[in-house]
Amino acid sequence: MAKGDQRAHNQLTAYFCHLAEAFGLPRSVAQIYQVLFLSENPLAVTDVVTRSGLSKGSVSTGLRLLERLKFVHPVIIPDDRRSFYRPELSLRRLAVGLVEENFLPVLEKGRVTLEEISLLKNLSPHYEARLASLRHWNETARGLLPALSLLD
């Protein structure tokens, strides 16, 4: 690795870890994504372990999470039985993956909860107004997902 590349690598480690922290993701997940992001070619799990310095268990767990978030994709390399991965590079797809995995289930559960509350009788006008606000917020938040397609 060139001298400048090593300095950039160290700074990018901090960058990816700060991003992961902001989204509530483990530092190890940031390290795995960084290794794949900086690689010119898809990497086998063993290569990710070696380059990240993480245990095989941490890498396997992190890759499963990253795959569920659609941050990485499995790659089949003919005549090689190992599992290979490549990073997702589209900001839009990364954002959609985060929203679909983390926020949509919460918003859907919230929608159901708000519907149940709206069926209660004898709510005060204050609670009725607050409930209407929350229902509007919830539906607005659910409607933001299509706006992510404008990113990139």
DSSP 1-39: --HHHHHHHHHHHHHHHHHHHHTT--HHHHHHHHHHHH-
Phi, psi of 75 (to 5 degrees): -130, 135
The total number of structural domains in the chain stands at 2
pLDDT in tens, 4-18: 788 888 898 889 999
Residue-number span of the structural domain to which 103 is assigned = 91-150
Let me know whether 114 and 67 are in one domain.
no
Let me know whether 77 and 98 are in one domain.
no
Let me know whether 58 and 9 are in one domain.
yes
Angstrom distance (rounded) from CA 114 to CA 73: 36
Angstrom distance (rounded) from CA 102 to CA 71: 13
Per-residue model confidence (pLDDT) at position 92: 81
Angstrom distance (rounded) from CA 57 to CA 20: 19
pLDDT in tens, 64-112: 999 999 999 999 999 999 999 999 999 888 888 888 888 888 888 999 9
List the alpha helices (DSSP H) in the chain.
3-22, 27-38, 45-52, 56-68, 91-98, 104-118, 125-143
Let me know whether 15 and 81 are in one domain.
yes
Angstrom distance (rounded) from CA 84 to CA 25: 22
pTM: 0.77
Q: Using the 3D structure, point to which of 87, 117, 134 is the last residue of a domain.
A: 87
Let me know whether 99 and 53 are in one domain.
no
Is residue 32 pLDDT above 90, yes or no? Answer: yes
Angstrom distance (rounded) from CA 141 to CA 29: 26
Let me know whether 68 and 51 are in one domain.
yes
